[in-house]
Amino acid sequence: MQEGKVEILLGAALSVLPQLVDAGRKFDLVLIDAAWEEQWGYFEYALRLVRAGGCVYVDNVVRELLELEDGGEGDGLLTRVGRVEGMDATLVSTVSGHKGREDEMFDGFLLAVVREG
């Protein structure tokens, strides 16, 4: 891709992401805002696509923890992320007073900084 140009790739993310990895593409930031059951698959690809010093942002992680029956225990996204070497991650909680329902006010995101990419 030429500098200053935008490239749009259409397709299912889990089909497009392997193509980006195979092409050796690297990014400074990958944003994941996906269905909870797909977050880990996207996160694994994001780690391969982000250059050292880059970030992976995963939205709605706290909502997932609050809504899962098992309270996020076991092999959920946070547990898996905690096992990954070569990056540092933090969970940032947020409170949104503009949400209509009290059970939707609390959320947050995961921010991971890749040390090796």
Its domain, for residue 91, covers 13-114
Residue 8 domain-assigned?
no
Residue 47 neighbours by CB under 8 Å, 6+ apart: 56, 84, 86, 87, 112, 114, 117
Residue 90 domain-assigned?
yes
The domain that contains 43 carries what CATH number? 3.40.50.150
Neighbours of 87 (CB within 10 A): 18
Q: What confidence score (pLDDT) does residue 40 get?
A: 93
> Within 13 A of 29's CA, how many CA atoms are on the CB side?
6
> Which tokens sit at 43?
């996160």
Q: How far apart are CA 93 and CA 88, in angstroms?
A: 17
What is the tally of structural domains in the chain?
1
Give me the average pLDDT of each 10-residue run along the chain (117 residues).
78 93 95 90 96 95 70 71 93 79 80 87
Residue 19 domain-assigned?
yes
Instruction: Record the pTM.
Output: 0.82
Residue 2 domain-assigned?
no
